[in-house]
Amino acid sequence: MKRLRKLWPFAREKAPTPGVQDLTALWQRTHGHLKPLEEHLPMPPDSLSTCSFCKQPGAIALSVQVGTDGRETLTDAVVHYCPACQRYFFDPAVQANREVASQPISKINARCWFAMPTFLNIEPTTCCNFRCWYCIGRTMPQVNMKLDDYRRIFDHFPALQTIALVGEGEPLLHPDFFLMADIARDRGVRVMLTSNGSRFSDDVIRNLCESAVTYLSVSIDSVDPATFADSRPPGNLDEIWRGVERLRSYRDRHGYRYPVIGLKGTLFAHTVDQLPAIIEEGWRRGMEVYEGFQPLNPMVTYLPCYPEDKKALLASVGDVAAKIAGYSRAAEGKLESISQFCARERIEFDKSGRPNGLRPGCDEQWIYALASGDITPCCMIKEPVSPRWNLFQHPLPEILADPLYESTRFNLFNGIFPPGCAGCYKVGCR
């Protein structure tokens, strides 16, 4: 009997539920490397079910497209994966499309995410003149991206349309920032950035306009100069507001369309009620876009960089997020939302990940890379995952086709999050 079970491990299983199709062989042939992670964060109980074959609990619903013989168009469907018996199965009872549900499945597409991003967020530098207490960049090696590496990005990313020069440093401190902006512009690629607003000299303002930088947001954590300096030392809020005013005035006086100026920042329990006042002041000083505010990032990987005396602020992250959502309406009619701005400028950037209809997932429609050129799954993951994902060394189409990269996207898209995502709001919102 032992020998029999080794040859045929399901020998003692009960018969499958009638009508359920075993798609394991088809899946292995077409998507063998796309497999739910063995180790992942807990999933919502309502997205797990009992395996129709081995009757064990814990079968994971996956969002896919399926087709039947003679049918060219694939239909959105659910396929389950059972970690206990490692089968992929199709249960007609849970399918929305009744016509497909009643026929034998002969085609599967499990690559339902955004095929070819056109938006790259890459960190030009990790150096900064500020010491914000919550910034993980202050604990990272301090480096500026090399120009040769930067130039290579454009050959390696043929579909690139927009480059956000943003990371855990101050972009305007990169000694060749405007050369980088001009290289992008000459390739027909738009440039966006986020700045701490401390470097708006007359030269920088002129260069921002002449280099046609499309969008620049400034981080403002408070309307009170002392509170601002407390989270963003040695930030001088009045000087930053005056810089924003001078940029807007220079741009408009000289007839430039860009940069459009946005507002963003980080809020805490003791500052979140200032959000309507921050919006009002931003608008008064010449800002045009509401990029959005975030609470303190509660990702487990960020916690070691927070000072002990600030960690109590983590307890209010959920309340702060809810208040930000409510107060954000104060921007309506004054500042354009970042999504309206991107739609108007035809910038394909969606932070939210694509919903797959089963549960919140995460497949960013953009690529995030560190100053080293290493692509990571998102801007909150600071550890390189694979040397094969380096944008300075490898063309993006090659990286996107890498089995580990595809498998990462497959899992994130399906809301199967690796342990490194613990604390992320996308995981927490379930």
User: By the criterion CB under 6 A, which residues form the site for ligand SAM?
Assistant: 128, 134-135, 166, 168, 170, 194-196, 219, 264-266, 294, 296-297, 302
Q: Which is nearer to ligand SF4, 43 or 100 (CB)?
A: 43
Task: Name the binder of 195 from ligand SAM, ligand SF4, none, CB < 5-8 A by kind.
Answer: ligand SAM
| Contact stretch for ligand SF4 (CB under 6 A) within 65-73, 94-102, 165-173, 303-311 | 165-173
C-alpha closest to that of 243 among 199, 195, 290, 288: 199
In the region spanning residues 228 to 287, those forming contacts with ligand SF4, defined by CB under 6 A, are 232
Rg of the Cα atoms in the chain: 25
Q: How far is the CB of 174 from ligand SAM (least distance, A)?
A: 11
CB 232 → ligand SAM: shortest distance, Å? 7
Q: What count of residues does the chain have?
A: 430
197: contact with ligand SF4 by CB under 6 A: no
What is the C-alpha to C-alpha distance for residues 172 and 177, in angstroms, rounded to an integer?
Answer: 6
- Closest C-alpha among 138, 144, 218 to residue 177: 144
What DSSP letter does each residue of 9-75 carry, written as one string?
TTTTPPPPPTT-EE-HHHHHHHHTT----SS-PPPPGGGEE--TTT--S-EEEEEEEEEETT--S-E
- Residue 291 as a binder of ligand SF4 (CB under 6 A): the answer is no
In DSSP notation, 140-209 reads S---B--HHHHHHHHHH-TT--EEEE-SSS-GGGSTTHHHHHHHHHHTT-EEEEEE-S----HHHHHHHH
Of the candidate residues 60, 82, 132, 369, the single one contacting ligand SF4 (CB under 6 A)? 132
Residue 87: name the closest of 27, 127, 147, 130 by CA: 27
Q: Is the distance from CB of 290 to CB of 328 less than 8 angstroms?
A: yes
- By C-beta, is 52 or 219 nearer to ligand SAM? 219
82, two tokens: 């059972």
Nearer to ligand SF4, 62 or 421 (CB): 421
Per-residue mark of binding to ligand SF4, 355-394 (x: CB under 6 A): -------x--------------xx-xx-------------
Residue 146 and residue 382: Cα distance in Å, rounded?
19
- Report the residue number, 41 or 74, with the smaller CB distance to ligand SF4: 41
Rounded to a whole number of angstroms, the minimum distance from the CB of residue 257 to ligand SF4 is 26
Give the shortest CB-219-to-ligand SAM separation in angstroms: 3
| Residues at the site binding ligand SF4, with contacts judged by CB under 6 A | 128, 130-132, 135, 137-138, 168-170, 196, 232, 362, 377-378, 380-381, 412, 417, 421, 424, 426-427
